[in-house]
């Protein structure tokens, strides 16, 4: 060896020794704009790990990764790094519906090829993608000798946070996401306190220290949200929180036998995602989750259309009518459907959901299985007549599949159930999974994840668009399956009708948490806020103007006008906003926001220069200026629906004012939101 080479070797060894005594094989990539830097490493005992900085400050400290598989395969330590590869990707794609027409997908990628140090030898990969607004990473286990079937006993993905951050969390419930968010420090998380919720038909919170995702947190000068993307053939990831070390560890929802995931090589996990931004509104603007999903598998998407709808629905929730003929008067009569269709048709609402039209509801909510066949109407509902009447008036029937959690039966009948609707020209179906799953499975298990996707692909075969209630969490699959329009997967408006109601802060939290996963069927638009004639002790805890603002703030390509026609008749001037507000957007701008407190969002209507603004607040009243500099050139007519001067979510929720004025992009609007209030603005380009 020449002297120069020996010297170089010594220098390299010294550098390695001094900087990497516990971390070897460090690799680094940064986001396209350089603000986020990801460093991967192997510890002395061969544990793979990563760290993340944002604007030079650490946001994820040394965090380890890996799997425990089958009987004794340990892919968490004593690993070696065989090779690495890097790549860059930058493309802008278009979507047929969404918060924006165009989506930029720009990231740098690093792949670690790892293997066990000792025999029997196994290899796997960890793929990292670093975007300007966060990172995603996933595990991939290739096909290889001695590793065909895989049982994942534990996924050990850590997120080691820097300090006792403030988090907005719901419990890591294996059966339901329908909880209120709690704001607390990580060390104060107590998911156990949310057990035995009286209004959840199915709930199981095994770990008092586990939360679900998206988990949004505030750090020192930044916001983080941890979630997952492309949840396919895998279990929902909850996060176990160690409040002392501020470390979150993936905790997958198991099969009944305790195994988390049963699969075969080659396999890949969903992406583990961390959105990292300065301002909370940037979380809402992020496209990281959809970008980490595959392009559409549906080639011709012309039949997929966003839509507004009404429903024979809220009247059951408030107790005016019922789903079953044996309870009180059933809501799903031909006559009642025609009444809704008349109103919808007159006010340009394209769809009518009818629940309770098919036999079986009298046995709903008990433990009976095989109660619904999805295709037999009650004698008082003439489905063909309702479809004909609606069609003549431009209102589509929206079908309903309440499975009552009996997925065994639904799987068996699904094809014929979709075929039934397809034959009748019904293009939208709302589905639901209230209650325990049959066969015994948790709602958020791998088995159910596979069922939910099976339903989406089957629906696509029948050219049917879906809106799923009690779904699996949204992880961006709408990119791959754009017929999966929307889903619930949160505590929606219905809770105001029969539970301890949603506080004003609830809707100010949703945009920064649940909505980061994807569209939300929240069912806004209740105008009869107190509905005292039906229930004295329940109410919606917002002003009427805030209900209007939700059409812009809470994104969904299917938006419900959830209240009853007779309640809308009393406020047709305010209903005009619901008539005018679109459900598909050219672009979206988040103008301000603080998690759980307030948010203002502006969206440009797809295909026009019209803009719509929604602004909402929690229990606190507030006012601010909204500069209109995002508008195109020219004159706009602004129609402003705001809280009346004396409005208050509880004391005076139905006080509102409607003003019209001419504005341009040089102007600002001064918005004044009442306590629990909001403002909705339509801006028509002249």
| Chain residues in the site for ligand NOJ (CB under 6 A) | 313, 355, 402, 432, 434, 469, 488, 494
The residue whose Cβ lies closest to Ca ion is 469
Of residues 38 and 561, the one with the C-beta less far from ligand NOJ: 561
d(CA 164, CA 633): 47
Please confirm whether the linkage preceding 439 is cis (ω < 30° from 0).
Answer: yes
Of residues 519 and 596, the one with the C-beta less far from ligand NOJ: 519
* β-sheet bridge partners, residue 182: 169
Please spell the DSSP secondary structure of 340-359, one letter per residue: HHHHHHHTT--EEEE-S-BT
355 binds, among Ca ion, ligand NOJ, none (CB under 5 to 8 A by kind): ligand NOJ
Contact stretch for Ca ion (CB under 5 A) within 157-165, 246-254, 357-365, 464-472: 464-472
Closest distance of CB 288 from ligand NOJ, Å: 28
Quick one: three-class SS letters along 122-183?
CEEEEEEEEECCEEEEEEEECCECCECEEEEEEECCEEEECCCCEEEECECCCCCCCCCCEE
160 binds, among Ca ion, ligand NOJ, none (CB under 5 to 8 A by kind): none
435 binds, among ligand NOJ, Ca ion, none (CB under 5 to 8 A by kind): none
> Which is catalytic among the residues 178, 494, 586, 605?
494
Q: Does the active-site annotation cover 494?
A: yes
Residues with Cβ within 8 Å of residue 667, at least 6 apart in sequence: 627, 628
402 binds, among Ca ion, ligand NOJ, none (CB under 5 to 8 A by kind): ligand NOJ
User: Please, which of residues 398-457 interact with Ca ion by CB under 5 A?
Assistant: none
Q: What is the dihedral of CA 410, 416, 421, 422, to 10 degrees?
A: 130
Closest distance of CB 470 from Ca ion, Å: 5
Contact stretch for Ca ion (CB under 5 A) within 12-20, 452-460, 469-477, 678-686: 469-477
Closest distance of CB 129 from ligand NOJ, Å: 34
Of residues 197 and 469, the one with the C-beta less far from Ca ion: 469
Contact stretch for Ca ion (CB under 5 A) within 121-129, 226-234, 462-470, 577-585: 462-470
Of residues 133 and 563, the one with the C-beta less far from ligand NOJ: 563
Of residues 133 and 467, the one with the C-beta less far from ligand NOJ: 467
Of residues 350 and 494, the one with the C-beta less far from ligand NOJ: 494
Closest distance of CB 324 from ligand NOJ, Å: 11
CA angle, residues 576, 582, 587, in degrees to nearest 5: 135
Closest distance of CB 313 from ligand NOJ, Å: 6
Closest distance of CB 315 from ligand NOJ, Å: 11
Q: Which helix (H) or strand (E) covers residue 283, if one does?
A: helix 280-285
Please choose, from the candidates 45, 10, 55, 4, the residue with its C-alpha nearest in 3D space to the C-alpha of residue 25.
45
Residues with Cβ within 8 Å of residue 345, at least 6 apart in sequence: 390, 393, 394, 395
Closest distance of CB 463 from ligand NOJ, Å: 23
451 binds, among Ca ion, ligand NOJ, none (CB under 5 to 8 A by kind): none
Quick one: three-class SS letters along 331-344?
CCCHHHHHHHHHHH
Contact stretch for Ca ion (CB under 5 A) within 41-49, 356-364, 463-471, 502-510: 463-471
- Are 324 and 316 a contacting pair, CB within 8 Å? no
What are the strands of the beta sheet with 428-432, ordered from one edge? 484-487, 465-468, 428-432, 396-402, 351-354, 307-312, 558-560
Of residues 319 and 377, the one with the C-beta less far from Ca ion: 319
Residues with Cβ within 8 Å of residue 217, at least 6 apart in sequence: 161, 165, 166, 167, 168, 186, 223, 224, 225, 226
Q: Which residues bind Ca ion (CB under 5 A)?
A: 469
Catalytic residues: 494
């Amino acid at each position: 060896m020449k002297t120069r080479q020996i010297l170089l070797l010594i220098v390299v060894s010294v550098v390695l020794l001094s900087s990497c005594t516990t971390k070897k094989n460090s690799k680094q990539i940064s986001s396209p704009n350089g603000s986020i830097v990801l460093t991967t490493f192997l510890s002395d005992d061969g544990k793979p790990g990563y760290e993340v900085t944002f604007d030079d400050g650490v946001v994820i400290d040394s965090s380890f990764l890996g799997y425990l598989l089958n009987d004794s395969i340990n892919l968490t330590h004593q690993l070696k790094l065989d090779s690495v590869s890097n790549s860059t990707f930058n493309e802008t794609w278009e979507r047929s519906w969404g918060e924006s027409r165009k989506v930029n997908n720009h990231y740098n990628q690093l792949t670690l090829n790892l293997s066990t140090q000792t025999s029997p030898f196994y290899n796997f990969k960890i793929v990292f993608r670093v975007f300007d607004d966060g990172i995603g990473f996933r595990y991939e286990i290739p096909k290889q000798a001695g590793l065909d079937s895989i049982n994942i006993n534990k996924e050990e993905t850590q997120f080691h946070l820097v300090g006792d951050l403030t988090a907005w969390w719901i419990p890591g419930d294996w059966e339901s996401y329908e909880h209120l968010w709690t704001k607390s420090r990580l060390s104060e998380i107590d998911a156990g306190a949310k057990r035995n919720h009286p209004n959840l038909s199915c709930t199981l919170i095994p770990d008092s220290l586990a939360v679900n995702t998206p988990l949004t947190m505030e750090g020192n000068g930044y916001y983080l949200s941890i979630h997952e993307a492309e949840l396919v053939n895998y279990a929902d990831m909850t996060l176990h929180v160690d409040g002392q070390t501020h470390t979150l560890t993936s905790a997958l929802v198991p099969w009944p036998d305790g195994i988390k995931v049963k699969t075969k090589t080659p396999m890949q996990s969903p992406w583990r995602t961390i959105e990292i931004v300065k301002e909370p509104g940037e979380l809402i603007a992020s496209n990281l989750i959809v970008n980490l999903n595959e392009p559409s598998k549906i080639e011709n998407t012309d039949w997929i259309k966003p839509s507004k709808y009404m429903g024979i629905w809220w009247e059951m929730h408030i107790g005016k009518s019922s789903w079953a003929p044996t309870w009180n008067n059933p809501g799903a009569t031909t006559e009642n459907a025609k009444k809704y269709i008349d109103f919808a048709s007159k006010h340009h609402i394209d769809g009518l959901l009818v629940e309770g039209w098919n036999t079986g509801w009298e046995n709903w909510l008990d433990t009976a299985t095989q109660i619904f066949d999805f295709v037999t109407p009650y004698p008082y509902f003439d489905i063909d007549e309702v479809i004909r009447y609606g069609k003549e008036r431009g209102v589509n029937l929206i079908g309903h599949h309440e499975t009552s959690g009996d997925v065994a039966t639904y799987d068996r009948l699904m094809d014929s159930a979709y075929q039934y609707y397809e034959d009748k020209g019904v293009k939208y179906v709302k589905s639901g999974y209230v209650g325990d799953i049959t066969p015994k499975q948790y709602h958020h298990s791998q088995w159910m994840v596979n069922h939910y996707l099976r339903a989406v692909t089957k629906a696509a075969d029948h050219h049917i668009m879906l809106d799923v209630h009690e779904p699996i969490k949204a992880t961006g699959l709408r990119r791959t399956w754009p017929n999966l329009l929307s889903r619930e997967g949160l505590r929606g408006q219905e809770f105001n009708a029969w539970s301890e109601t949603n506080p004003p802060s609830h809707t100010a939290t949703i945009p920064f948490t649940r909505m980061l996963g994807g569209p939300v069927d929240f069912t806004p638009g209740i105008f009869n806020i107190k509905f005292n004639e039906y229930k004295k002790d329940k109410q919606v805890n917002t002003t009427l103007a805030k209900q209007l603002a939700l059409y812009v703030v809470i994104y969904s390509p299917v938006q419900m006008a959830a209240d009853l026609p007779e309640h809308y008749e009393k406020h047709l001037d305010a209903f005009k906003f619901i008539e005018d507000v679109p459900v598909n957007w050219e672009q979206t701008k988040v103008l301000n926001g603080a998690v759980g407190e307030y948010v203002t969002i502006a969206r440009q209507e797809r295909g026009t220069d019209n803009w719509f603004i929604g602004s909402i607040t929690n229990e606190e009243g507030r006012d601010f200026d909204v500069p209109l500099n995002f508008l195109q050139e020219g004159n706009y007519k602004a129609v402003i629906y705001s809280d009346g001067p004396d409005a208050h979510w509880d004391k005076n929720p139905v006080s509102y004012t409607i003003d019209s004025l001419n504005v341009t992009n040089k102007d600002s609007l001064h918005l004044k939101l009442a306590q629990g209030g909001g403002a909705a603005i339509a801006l028509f380009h002249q």
